[in-house]
Amino acid sequence: MATPNFGKYEVLQVIGAGAHSNVYKVCHRDTRKRFAIKHVTVEDASAQRFFRQLQNEYELTRDLAHPNIAEVYDMVTRKRLLRVAEAYLVMEYVRGGPMTPDPRTYTFDELVFYFRQVADALAYLHEQGTIHTDVKPKNILITKRHLVKLVDFGQATRPGRSKGRIQGTFEFMAPEQVHDGVLDVRTDIFNLAASMYFMLSGRHTPPVIAATRGDIDFLPSRSRRPKSIRDVNPAVTSALDDLLRYSCSRVRDDRPDTMADFIERFEEAVDAEPSPPDEETQE
């Protein structure tokens, strides 16, 4: 793979790779300051949506300023024969890596600390009139100083819209994302709670859909909410368990109305004294 030319930015290494895009660690040739560049090549019509996602990410994040959201500084587009051939975003370089998908990596207190920061980032994002719609451990970067940075806003949108197709990550998707419903802040609340549920229990919430050999099947739901996680992680308080289960409800009106409401209940839940796991969980 040939190293792309980013003009005033010198490529140091590849830090992420995908079908039509790569992420590079770069430095400014004059200032030597480090940045990250997300580079998309538009080789055919099928790659156009990756370019549109890049545009979308730039338009929705360029004016954001929050300590828990990775900054986006610039977008450069290059054309060949009057068609867009490639584009790239210049972004904040985060000295850290994504939250590992192995829950055993972190203590309960560490996860509480990290997800509280994610919730803060989402509350700010919602105040700016944007929802992320793809919150998951992979999109949560953690620095060596334990600062969280929320990344990858390619699927972000304004609340009150539908995507027109299934878009997101199956294991963390809200039902309205599967059924092409209208998305709102409660979609992010579901994504966040589903990520927390997984990291605190080591298991995913019951899936809404299953993908097998490229086919998508809609799965019946026996319960509006997932099972309690206290049987596998007694460090989780009953209040936090309830909050996560309600926030992962397939019925949107069961979830907290706003991220501010979720944060208030989350803070109360993690301050509560842990109690023994229930002998029998009512579904």
Q: Which residues are catalytic?
A: 134
Residues 6 or more apart whose CB falls under 8 angstroms from that of 153 comprise 56, 57, 60, 61, 72, 130, 132
Q: How far apart are CA 140 and CA 130, in angstroms?
A: 17
Edge-to-edge strand ranges of the sheet holding 96-98: 96-98, 140-143, 148-150
CA distances from 15 to 4, 95, 183 (A): 14, 11, 31
Reading the block at residue 198, the tokens are 């997984």
